[in-house]
Amino acid sequence: MDEYRAVRDLLPAPPLSPEVERAGRERLRAAFAQDRVRVRRGLRAARWSALALGMAGAAAAAAIVIANIAPAGVPAPPGAAVQADGKRFLLVAAASVAAMPDEGAWWGSTEVRGRQFREPGGRYVLRESESFETWIPADPEGLTWYRHTPQGIKPATPQDEAAWIAHGSPTSWTYDKRSETGHFGVVRSEPGEQKTWSTEDWDFRIRTAGKPLTKMSEVPETPEGLKAFFAADDRTTIDTAARLLFFAPVTSGTRAAAYQLLASVPGVTAIGEVADALGRAGQAIEYESGEFAPPDYRGATRTRLVIDPASGRPLSIEVRSAADGLLLTYTAIQDSRWADSNPLKEKE
């Protein structure tokens, strides 16, 4: 069977740029033609045999639980037509990421996490951000290394900066009552102190059916396998696939399967080309979910995943207000890769 033609017929071409489309087609052909031998995967699975699968996710020092929920469909938002052709870029991303190397002694990632909120008078929007660098060892006896760099608070956009200047360019703001993003009292703009540390404790774990994963090989490398493995409703399946793509040290095959799963699961809407929270161009999908929303936010939210199809790299997870589209929180991936060395450990 001509598998490329089957995929093309199932998901017609979206409005990608010619460069992205050309690069995606070449990667897709290469992925279908290549018989990838994964001898090294078995070796690395043994190294992970005593290790819960690390998940450098959005909630520090908390286990990530995949709920074992009876399957149930998630309807599309009112007025939004879920177009299969618009999601075809996810298959291009799957083919791209499948060709990426996935072996090394360390899984490293650098994230920029942020949240946006209105100043007490509602005149402009502020953005608070921080950088998190994480290095997870393949060796089950190794330490996980972290570097946290608070980046302070500043106006979110040039328009907000103009309003901030008109307000006298304050460097602190006082909230008389707890805001929807959790602020209360005096909030200051200056960055905090950078900290680097290591720990043998695993703060990030995936759990399914109440049990932690202990082997890399337990995570399937097909979309059907992942869906059965999650055993969850559609919305939880989408959230979990996003976590695997953005945060977990899984194989390239699993990442490709997660993209393929997102292309087929109901409730996902293609947005088209966008700029992510850091201004990088990518293709986006959205779905209704409160999984990554601020804990004190009480309104409905939509989660946006921004992807670079040509490289297969995830760019950002963004949570926006369903009412007015205001960006509430985001996690942008600046870099994530397998490597043979850990720069944080070497600097100590």
Contacts of 224 (CB under 8 A, 6+ apart): none
| Closest of 37, 29, 109 to residue 253, by C-alpha | 37
pLDDT in tens, the chain (348 residues): 333 333 333 333 334 444 544 554 454 444 434 433 333 333 333 333 222 333 333 333 232 333 332 233 333 333 333 344 689 999 999 999 999 888 888 989 999 999 988 999 999 999 999 999 999 888 767 888 999 999 999 999 999 999 999 999 999 999 987 666 567 789 999 999 999 999 875 544 455 444 555 555 578 899 999 999 888 899 989 998 998 899 888 889 999 999 999 999 999 999 999 999 999 999 999 999 878 888 778 888 999 999 999 999 999 999 999 988 888 999 999 999 889 999 998 776
- pTM value is 0.72
Residue 325: predicted pLDDT: 86
| Closest of 181, 33, 29 to residue 96, by C-alpha | 29
Q: Which helix (H) or strand (E) holds 312?
A: none
What are the strands, taking DSSP E only, across the chain? Answer: 64-66, 106-118, 125-137, 144-155, 172-175, 185-188, 195-199, 206-208, 211-212, 269-275, 281-288, 301-308, 313-321, 327-339
Reading the block at residue 170, the tokens are: 């304050």
Burial of 185 (0-12, 13-18, 19+ CB in 10 A): exposed
The three-class DSSP label of residue 348 is coil
